[in-house]
A = this chain, B = another copy of it.
Amino acid sequence: MRVVLIVEYDGTDYCGWQCQPNGLSVQEVMENCFFEATGEKTVLTASGRTDSGVHALGQVVHFDTALEQPAESFKHVFNAVLPPDIKVRQSFEVAKNFHARYSAKKKTYVYRTYISPIELPLKRRFAAQIFGKIDMDKMLSAKKLIEGTHDFAAFCASGSSAKSTIRTVFSIDIERRGDDIDFYVSGNGFLYNMVRIIVGTLLAVGYGKISESDVANAISFGERKNLGKTMPACGLTLCRVEYSEI
């Protein structure tokens, strides 16, 4: 039986989703918990890696099991042994050909920021501090250049192993409430650090540090140098992954 898990985690204390030689990963913790609870060894496959320190509200994970029990009960199996910063919100059976990564059609991330001259104790865990006066209209104009199907080579951290750098960004929604600005970014897939570079770039436009034409040139010619900085991991949360099948 193939089972899907919808997983929420606070990524602060983890080196990301995927097992790494240095540092504890969410995957490793979950696989160990499953073995501890059931005695069965399994491999968990997620919709994608999240980087070190990145959070998830709805990471989608699949695994195969020979255990004969209702798929819905695996939620409780995991939660009984998982630490408080990782929990399974749902578990259910899927078709054998479902794949958490390859079947994904749409992913939505939120990047949370707050404007403050000092790093705030009550916000720092799940949002990134930003400074100064930001021109929202400039950001709302620049985000239209990023939406759509483009070669996002310039929006990709070095060291990425992606074969193609063409991706479709379905939408970028920027929500401001007082000093909090949240960026919702939906796409069919993202390159390494792509969401964090998109947000850094929109903020650089909002501060007037770079122009809309810098963004247009980056998309046309793949030039990273005139884009904004990569924002820190703490502000990023994988909200949800959508599939046509489930």
A residues neighboring B (CB under 8 Å)? 8-10, 55, 57, 79, 84-89, 118-122, 124-126, 237
In this complex, what residue of B is CB-closest to A89? B118
Q: A57, A84, A121: which has the most chain B beta carbons within 10 Å?
A: A121
- Asked if B118 and A79 make an inter-chain contact with CB atoms under 8 angstroms apart, the answer reads yes
Q: Which 6 A-B pairs have the closest CB atoms?
A: A10-B121, A85-B121, A8-B121, A87-B118, A9-B121, A87-B121
**A237 CB contacts on chain B under 8 angstroms:** 122
Question: Can you name 22 A-B pairs with beta carbons within 8 Å?
Answer: A8-B120, A8-B122, A9-B121, A10-B121, A10-B122, A10-B125, A55-B121, A55-B122, A57-B122, A79-B118, A84-B119, A84-B121, A85-B121, A86-B121, A87-B118, A87-B119, A87-B120, A88-B118, A89-B118, A122-B126, A122-B237, A125-B125
Once the chains are docked, how many angstroms separate the CA of A86 from the CA of B119?
Answer: 10
For the complex formed, measure the closest distance between the CB of A74 and the CB atoms of chain B, giving whole angstroms.
13
